[in-house]
Amino acid sequence: MNAALLIDFGSTFTKVCSVDLDSEMILGTAQAPTTVRTDISIGLKEAFSILKETTGIETYTARLACSSAAGGLSVMASGVVESLTLKAARMAALGAGAKVTRGFHHYLTNSDLKIIEAEPPDIFLLAGGTDGGNSEIIIHNAGKLAGLKRAFPIVVAGNRAAADEVQTLLESAGWEVHVCPNIMPELDRLDIDPVNEIIRSIFLSRITHAKGIDKAGEFIDGVLMPTPYAVLSAAVLLADGTEEESGAGGLMVIDAGGATTDVHSVYDGYEVSDDVILHGIREPRIKRTVEGDMGVRYNASTIVETTGKESGGGLSGSGKNGFFQGMDAREIGELLLEIGGHPEILFGDSKKEFDRALCKAAVHTAVKRHCGTYEKHYTPHGARYLQQGKDFTGLGTIIGTGGPLVNDSNPAETLSACLFDGREPDSLRPRKPEIMIDKKYILYAMGLLASIDAGKALRIMKKEIIKISQEQPDGNNR
């Protein structure tokens, strides 16, 4: 048999997925706790032996891994204006599969430097200024970073006119510097790919080693990418297909998790009519956002608190039509305490509704933040709309993944909380997409497999990622 083993060294679990490359079938999946603190190969071997019980397979022709263990890939970014170069820098880092632990704009201050020194990132992305634009800020910020005692690679992707000076400043102070083309060469044009690539290559060359992930070396052929990047690659492949085979078209992947809720989209979102005027930076077709305050376990109380405010109290909160409607505040408070003490808790049937409400609120908020907005202005010649960000109202497909959605008895109902809602007409969320679920949690695995055989990965996704419709009564989707 010609089989591939695909591995995700996650923050909590090491997941493995076995694929028969000839029949293009998933043979089995398994997981065991990640053991990065001792030796990451221990957890891998355990997951592997569980998998072997069901598949019986000992040898694999390819063994590929991705990783978000040991804190994942953390990036701090700085830019000049928050809504311009800092936003672009954030998008580039997120698109490379990193998490952005801090973003700074304008001049770095001494208290910013203390923060950076206290929780140093894996990589610092130094941006700012269009080509020929502001150069003082990036030069100032480079000078500040140069004086720090903690070392990490710095990616420079700012004003071209300042790049030489920034590079010399940092290199002469002994820093590892990677200079990229400007992330925002002109105000209305982003150049994100080079930064994205360099971040991933630093991840491979340095960070997997620094975090002890390469200890699994003898059991695998390589750690190829950060896990979120694997998921994003799978999303791109499923949307766009290969040269021989067409994809599913524009789509969005919603990954609800215990610590964050991530949204990935592969969709243009700028097919605008005459009465729409575009504002703000033009976002990339392939976009990833991470909501670090929307993890259904680690941020449960934040979710309850903030979703009420963000939706103007209409859709969430415990009020009428809210996600937590019908639950009384005391009961919610007790459940939150329970989760706070044991984030790994899985609620029984009686409390499932609360869990589902949390998940709905999280996907609602995460998708709302991912999608663009309209601002309506009346003129004597009818309404005009200012569009900021991508318009997803016409999107064809959304795909749910991640534990809370995959284990939900009615994920379609939960996912529909993220759809367009007439009560929030300015939020350009998908109106009537096909709703699908990554039932076996294979997206990361297909992102990895795509690096050796995109056609097979595409066909397996088409088979395994299944449509679920909202109309089905509860419990029918198991």
Which residue lies nearer to another protein by CB, 23 or 107? 107
User: CA-CA distance, 50 to 26, in Å (whole number)?
Assistant: 15
Which residue lies nearer to ligand B12 by CB, 383 or 466? 383
Residue 279 touches which of another protein, ligand B12, none (Cβ within 5-8 Å per kind): another protein
Copy the structure tokens of residue 144: 């500040």
User: CA-CA distance, 20 to 151, in Å (whole number)?
Assistant: 44
Residue 447 touches which of another protein, ligand B12, none (Cβ within 5-8 Å per kind): none
Which residue lies nearer to ligand B12 by CB, 309 or 376? 376
- Which residues neighbour 69 within 8 Å (Cβ) at sequence distance 6 or greater? 9, 10, 11, 14, 34, 36, 40, 211, 213
Shortest distance (Å) from residue 21 CB to another protein: 49
Copy the structure tokens of residue 346: 């899985």
Contact residues toward another protein (CB under 8 A) are: 80-81, 83-85, 106, 128-130, 132-135, 184, 186-187, 277, 279-280, 377, 379, 384, 386
Residue 115 touches which of ligand B12, another protein, none (Cβ within 5-8 Å per kind): none
Shortest distance (Å) from residue 375 CB to ligand B12: 13
Shortest distance (Å) from residue 374 CB to ligand B12: 16
Asked if 173 and 179 count as a contact pair (C-beta separation under 8 A), the reply is no
Residues from 374 through 403 that contact ligand B12 (CB under 6 A): 379-381
Shortest distance (Å) from residue 159 CB to another protein: 8
Residue with the CB atom nearest ligand B12 in the bound state: 379
Shortest distance (Å) from residue 80 CB to ligand B12: 25
Shortest distance (Å) from residue 386 CB to another protein: 6
Which residue lies nearer to ligand B12 by CB, 277 or 346? 277
By CB under 6 A, residue 422 contacts ligand B12: no
Backbone angles phi, psi at 144, to 5 degrees: -65, -45
Which residue lies nearer to ligand B12 by CB, 37 or 381? 381
Residue 83 touches which of ligand B12, another protein, none (Cβ within 5-8 Å per kind): another protein
Q: How large is the angle between the packed helices 300-310 and 352-370, nearest 10 degrees?
A: 50
Residue 186 touches which of ligand B12, another protein, none (Cβ within 5-8 Å per kind): another protein
Shortest distance (Å) from residue 381 CB to another protein: 8
Listed in sequence order, the DSSP H helices in 96-226 are 110-118, 136-146, 160-172, 193-202, 208-210
- Which residues neighbour 337 within 8 Å (Cβ) at sequence distance 6 or greater? none
Give the residue from 427, 52, 405, 432 showing the smallest Cα distance to 253. Answer: 405
Shortest distance (Å) from residue 131 CB to ligand B12: 25
Size of the site for ligand B12 (CB under 6 A): 3
Which residue lies nearer to ligand B12 by CB, 276 or 452? 276
> Please, is 317 exposed, middle or buried when counting C-beta atoms within 10 Å of its C-beta (0-12, 13-18, 19+)?
buried
Asked if 175 and 151 count as a contact pair (C-beta separation under 8 A), the reply is yes
User: CA-CA distance, 192 to 97, in Å (whole number)?
Assistant: 13
Terminal C-alpha separation, the chain: 30
Residues from 323 through 382 that contact ligand B12 (CB under 6 A): 379-381
Residue 129 touches which of another protein, ligand B12, none (Cβ within 5-8 Å per kind): another protein
Backbone angles phi, psi at 14, to 5 degrees: -95, 120
Q: Which residues make up the interface to ligand B12 (CB under 6 A)?
A: 379-381
